[in-house]
Chains A and B, each alone.
Chain A
């Protein structure tokens, strides 16, 4: 099984440890993983700002890098959703369509394709899990509190396999953190307030870590935690799932 690892541009630049954990985790689970070196960005920052018409360059580059893989896996629900919904190519639409069907967010790839049971991971900490909206409401990685429907959660299904982890229940289990791409600067006041409120919910449960499947939300909340000089850290789900007693991440 040939897996193309798609690492969001800002993760590549600012959170290499998340990409390393994703790579190591997939390798550990027996995948043949390649990181196409010329990949950049999925184009979402432009598209969500109203400039999808400027994303042809990003799209073509994405298709050039990821055509031909059995699966494309990405440790971000938001970037995955963008590719799934909006990847097109004038040069090779067929390849774009195939990629749209074969791209998975990391945790849903683990639960749905690899059907991982009995992960060998250990993370003896108190953790709050942040449901990122695009993964949850866009990719349906977990049930949404607005709907009258059976609850489920793919990330929790995986985290429950981790030894020693204590997952806390939040007061508002799936409220947006307020990152929202360019919203975080264009609507700074509301964005920061939403972030502060989300962080406060986790702090109230006395967590050691705020975990999530999207580094963008975590980056936003990390910025708030650090400004508050809080000892609480953010951590990507890949880092938790890749943790063992003997081999700490990165």
Chain B
């Protein structure tokens, strides 16, 4: 595979060069997984809630076009302008056009993984627009010129001491101060200035209600509200799968979202936006960007149920030990690995293999996406369509013959064991990735079938 970027295994190996850091990353995310466990056990109806959410989303995906039109009509009735974007490029152009209309070159933006997916910041930067991310974690990675490494905890890979250094450089905090409360306050003061002076605010959308035309934005910091309320123009960008049919369904999702994400009973701010205040403009951009094609793939359709809680990342033993950036995609972790190949199969062919298929992701998923089964299915698609390495395909063909012919298998096994016993250097060397950190199993003289032949088949 000639790929323009490094693959997960290589990036993960780099991440693993600093074992203490891996331990810290793993422990931090495992702590969040434990918080999640603790709070979901407080709800005896937890599993029923997951099933209900999954079914509601199933209904949405089955009637998406109708719900979209219903939502558009109701939003328009509320005085909201609705835009449709077929892809990221169209989305970015719509945002730019709205900014130009206002004659501004600055904008505040609360958390939106969709805008990461569309590479909005890079696009606007090229047009001379300055975007300030107002979510604290996103602001940190933005200052560091990095993409988020986690969809809920964008700077989970940063230690507080490093954030102290970063803020010293960019916000002028005293050198060596790594007190989280102090640093948060410094960021708040800097952001307050941005909130007060920007005329346009962009937010993401967690849920959009077809029945009412309103949308809900969940943040722990209130930064979406600050941005939207102080702005003359509020732009909300949403993927077309974010819909739910009725307002009453919100209860199901709001109870699931943050319990799954961070182990809180509910997000600190779940803000409902339905109409612009007098004198304000409100715009919603409905973005497809591959989703309708994805919807057509029956085996992979379920992944459009995702509510971006990040629980699958926190529980994933591979994610915890490889870091979000090793997934080279806006959405990392198990869910990212099944979403990414929908966008670009060749570029993301390595991601479905960055898993042991342990299944923990599917178990924590609040909307019951069959994540590990989809990882398995993506592997089949990628191998069939020629997106796996040629050497691997060749090796698999040899293996398939050896393992399906009892005669060859018996002889190959015996030969292999003789070699391992007598010339261990042939397998115990640095060409064998197993041997790098593990001993090979000891090869016994006798296989079980040889023993059985002697002891049970006289």
Q: How far is the CA of A185 from the CA of B353 in the complex (A)?
A: 12
Whether the Cβ atoms of B404 and A146 lie closer than 8 Å is no
Whether B321 and A194, one on each chain, are in contact in the complex, defined by CB atoms closer than 8 angstroms, is yes
Q: Are A39 and B406 in contact (CB under 8 A)?
A: yes
Could you list 12 examples of A-B contacts with CB < 8 Å? A9-B409, A13-B413, A40-B409, A57-B405, A134-B357, A137-B363, A146-B315, A183-B353, A183-B356, A184-B434, A185-B434, A187-B12
Whether A50 lies near B380 (C-beta < 8 A) is: yes
Residues in A with CB closer than 8 Å to B457 are 37
Binary contact readout A53-75 vs B (1 if CB under 8 angstroms, 0 otherwise): 11111101100000000000000
Cβ-Cβ contact count across A and B, 8 Å cutoff: 224
Q: Which residues of B contact A (CB under 8 A)?
A: 8-9, 12-13, 15-16, 19, 22, 26, 30, 37, 40-41, 43-44, 46-47, 315, 317-318, 321-322, 353-360, 362-364, 376, 379-380, 382-384, 388, 392-393, 396-397, 399-401, 403-406, 409, 413, 416-417, 432-434, 436-444, 446-453, 456-457
- Cβ-defined contact, B439 with A226, below 8 A: yes
Within the assembled complex, what's the spacing in Å between the Cα atoms of A55 and B380?
A: 12
> Are B438 and A224 in contact, with the CB atoms below 8 A?
yes
Q: Are A185 and B433 in contact, with the CB atoms below 8 A?
A: yes
A185 to B434, CA, bound (A): 6
* Structural contact, B396 and A49, CB atoms closer than 8 A: yes
With a CB–CB cut-off of 8 A, which chain B residues contact A193? 16, 19, 22, 321
For B317, B360, B376, which residue has the most chain A Cβ atoms within 10 angstroms? B317
The 7 A-B residue pairs with the shortest CB-CB distance, nearest first, are A57-B404, A223-B438, A180-B356, A50-B383, A146-B363, A50-B379, A137-B359
**B28 CB → nearest A CB, Å:** 14
CB distance from A40 to the nearest CB of B (A): 4
A residues near B, CB below 8 A? 7, 9, 11-16, 19-20, 23, 35, 37-41, 43, 45-58, 60-61, 133-134, 137-138, 144-149, 172, 174-176, 178-181, 183-197, 219-220, 222-224, 226-227
**Is A48 touching B357 in the complex (CB atoms < 8 A)?**
yes
Please pick, from A47, A51, A223, the residue contacting B434 in the complex, using a CB distance under 8 A: A223
B438 adjacent to A176 (CB under 8 Å): no
Q: Identify whether the interface residues of A are mostly helix, strand, loop, or mixed.
A: helix
Known contacts A23-B456, A49-B392, A147-B363; can you find 6 more A-B pairs with CB under 8 A? Answer: A57-B400, A57-B405, A175-B317, A176-B356, A185-B432, A192-B437
What is the bound-complex CA distance between A14 and B406, given in angstroms?
Answer: 17
Q: Which residue in B400, B406, B438, B446 is a CB contact (below 8 Å) of A192?
A: B438
Are the CB atoms of B16 and A190 closer together than 8 Å?
A: yes
Most buried by B among A12, A23, A55: A12
Q: How far is the CA of A193 from the CA of B8 in the complex (A)?
A: 15
Q: Which B residues touch A197, using CB under 8 A? A: 26, 321
Residues of chain A with a CB closer than 8 A to B409's CB: 9, 40-41
Cα of A183 to Cα of B269 in the assembled complex, Å? 41
Q: Which residues of B contact A138 (CB under 8 A)?
A: 359
CB closest chain-A residue, reference B44: A148
Nearest-CB residue, chain A, relative to B437: A192
Q: Which of B13, B384, B453 contacts A189 (CB 8 A)?
A: B13
